[in-house]
């Protein structure tokens, strides 16, 4: 499977941030976007293609980022989740990290090359999970 | 308490908000900076394409460059990218404009609109509320103008609403601005929230007292802070 066929889903309620994430990734990957956790889960349910990497904000209305990655981790275990947040010290984020449902936490604001680097590592982890 | 004490309280109150405001400033700055990087990348691709056109490149060569630079995507995304930068810059300008109001010296007595004061505070404090608290703001006109020192009134309301945001872990904050007919038509600010502690600090209390405000405060699940200010004299 080429990198182009691997879906990276970005979830952020702030449209300007979502656009930024898309621009950082769209030249290398197939990018899906969702404005919140519920919409993201709908894409997981509806779309036959497998989401390789989930990049999501934490502070969102409705489902928080940690809630979303927990659900995804339980139901789509080969998907690798990355959490973006300006509040990395929150207890629920640290707990999600300890529980192993988050591959990496990126502090916001983050530069596009940093996101690409982490997504690249997450894709390697996705391949590892698929192979095992 | 003299003016020097008040200044110390004011500085402490403003200092507590610096981290919040820095976070809010950082986000649009980041959006502008990153999009400027993408715009440069788009421009380099388009300049390469136009250089080839100028050099008389054949159709196959131009098609190859278009595909490599993802010309169709660039064409579609460029206006959206510029709009993103505009929106972020406008957000930044809005925040700075509101911030100036709060950093002002107390100033002379002047006519003030309590609704504008509350709205300015909500712009500056947006990151404290966002995605954690639902803020409902309601204006019940007519709201009489009040007389006060602009810098002080803005700073007192900002300090109050910042303290409310910090005292409410999650839930709903209802803010009403109206006229208190029972108190002779004074302008009134009511904040209803599940307050875990008192929110009116010494700076806020002192400023409001010098403006002839009447202040009531109760904590708990149905916590309420009410401030009424004399109508314009």
Instruction: Give tens-digit pLDDT for B24-55.
Output: 787 888 899 999 999 999 999 999 999 999 99
Q: What is the pLDDT of residues B188-201, one digit of tens each?
A: 999 999 998 898 88
Among B70, B77, B88, select the one facing A16 at the smallest CB separation: B88
**Over the stretch A79-91, which tens digit does the pLDDT of each residue have?**
999 999 877 788 8
> Can you point out the beta strands (E) in B10-117?
109-112
Structure confidence at residue B202 (pLDDT): 85
For residues B120 and B154, is the Cβ–Cβ distance under 8 A?
Answer: yes
Point out the residue among B30, B81, B130 whose CB comes nearest to the CB of A59: B130
> What pLDDT, on the 0 to 100 scale, is given for residue B145?
92
A13 touches chain B (CB under 8 A): yes
pLDDT-based confidence at B20, cuts 50/70/90?
low
Shortest alpha-carbon distance between residue B202 and chain A (Å): 29
Q: Are B229 and B148 in contact (CB under 8 A)?
A: yes
Q: Average pLDDT over chain A, rounded to whole?
A: 90
Task: State the count of interchain CB pairs (< 8 A) between A and B.
Answer: 36
Q: Rounded to an integer, what distance in angstroms lies between the CA atom of residue B78 and that of residue B87?
A: 14
Mutate to test the interface with B, among A23, A24, A35 (most CBs of B within 10 A): A23
What are residue A9's DSSP bridge partners?
Answer: A32, A54
> Searching chain B, which residue's CA lies closest to the CA of residue A28?
B70
Instruction: Encode pLDDT of B162-208 as tens digits.
Output: 889 888 878 899 999 999 988 788 999 999 999 988 988 888 888 88
User: For residue B99, what are its two tokens?
Assistant: 């911030």
For chain B positions 92-121, those within 8 Å of chain A (CB to CB) are: none
Span B104-147, pLDDT tens digits: 666 778 889 999 999 999 988 887 787 778 899 999 999 999 98
If contacts are CB pairs under 8 Å, which of residues 15-44 in chain B contact chain A? Answer: 23, 26-27, 30-31, 34-35, 37-38
Residue B17, CA distances (Å) to B165, B170, B197 in order: 12, 19, 19
Phi-psi region of A71 (alpha: psi -120 to 50; beta: other; left: phi over 0): alpha
Question: In this model, does residue B160 exceed pLDDT 80?
Answer: yes
What distance in Å separates the CA atoms of residue B225 and residue A52, rounded to the nearest whole number?
A: 50
ipTM above 0.90, yes or no: no
Nearest CA to B192 out of B155, B154, B119, B138 is that of B138
Q: pTM for the whole thing?
A: 0.75
Report how far residue B133's alpha carbon sits from residue B126's, in angstroms, rounded to the nearest whole number.
Answer: 10
| Beta bridge pairs of residue B186 | B180
Which tens digit of pLDDT belongs to each residue from A24-58?
999 999 999 999 999 999 999 987 568 999 999 99
Q: Which of residues 42-81 of A touch B (CB under 8 A)?
A: 59-61
Look at residue B217 in the predicted model and tell me its pLDDT.
Answer: 94
A112 touches chain B (CB under 8 A): yes
Percent of chain B residues past pLDDT 70, beyond the cut:
93
Question: pLDDT value at position A49?
Answer: 66
């Amino acid at each position: 499977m080429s990198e182009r066929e691997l879906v990276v889903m970005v979830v952020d309620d702030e449209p300007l941030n979502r656009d930024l994430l898309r621009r950082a990734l769209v030249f290398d990957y197939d990018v899906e976007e969702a404005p919140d956790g519920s919409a993201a889960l709908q894409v997981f349910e509806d779309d036959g293609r497998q989401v390789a990497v989930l990049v999501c904000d934490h502070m969102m209305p409705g489902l928080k980022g940690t809630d979303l990655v927990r659900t995804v981790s339980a139901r789509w275990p080969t998907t690798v989740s990355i959490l973006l947040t300006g509040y990395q010290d929150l207890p629920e984020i640290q707990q999600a990290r300890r529980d192993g449902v988050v591959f990496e936490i990126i502090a916001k604001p983050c530069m596009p090359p940093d996101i690409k680097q982490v997504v690249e590592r997450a894709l390697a982890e996705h391949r590892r999970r698929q192979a095992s | 308490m003299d003016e020097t004490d008040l200044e110390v309280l004011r500085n402490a109150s403003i200092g507590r908000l610096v981290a919040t405001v820095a976070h809010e400033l950082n986000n649009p700055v980041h959006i502008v900076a990153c999009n400027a990087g993408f715009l440069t990348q788009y421009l380099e691709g388009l300049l390469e394409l136009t250089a080839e056109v100028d050099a008389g490149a054949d159709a196959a060569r131009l098609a190859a460059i278009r595909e490599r630079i993802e010309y169709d995507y660039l064409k579609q995304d460029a206006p959206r990218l510029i709009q993103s930068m505009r929106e972020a810059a406008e957000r930044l300008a809005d925040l700075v404009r509101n911030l100036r109001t709060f950093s002002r010296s107390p100033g002379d007595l002047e006519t003030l609109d309590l609704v504008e004061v509350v709205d300015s505070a909500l712009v500056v404090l947006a990151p404290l509320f966002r995605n954690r608290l639902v803020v409902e703001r309601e204006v019940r006109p007519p709201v009489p103008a009040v007389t006060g020192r602009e810098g002080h009134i803005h700073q007192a309301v900002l300090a109050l609403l910042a303290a409310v945001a910090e005292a409410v872990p999650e839930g709903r904050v209802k803010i009403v601005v109206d006229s208190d007919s029972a108190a002779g038509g004074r302008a009134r600010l009511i904040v209803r929230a599940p307050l875990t502690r008192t929110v009116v600090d010494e700076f806020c209390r002192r400023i409001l007292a010098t403006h002839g405000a009447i202040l009531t405060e109760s904590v708990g699940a149905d916590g309420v802070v009410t401030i009424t200010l004399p109508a314009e004299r």
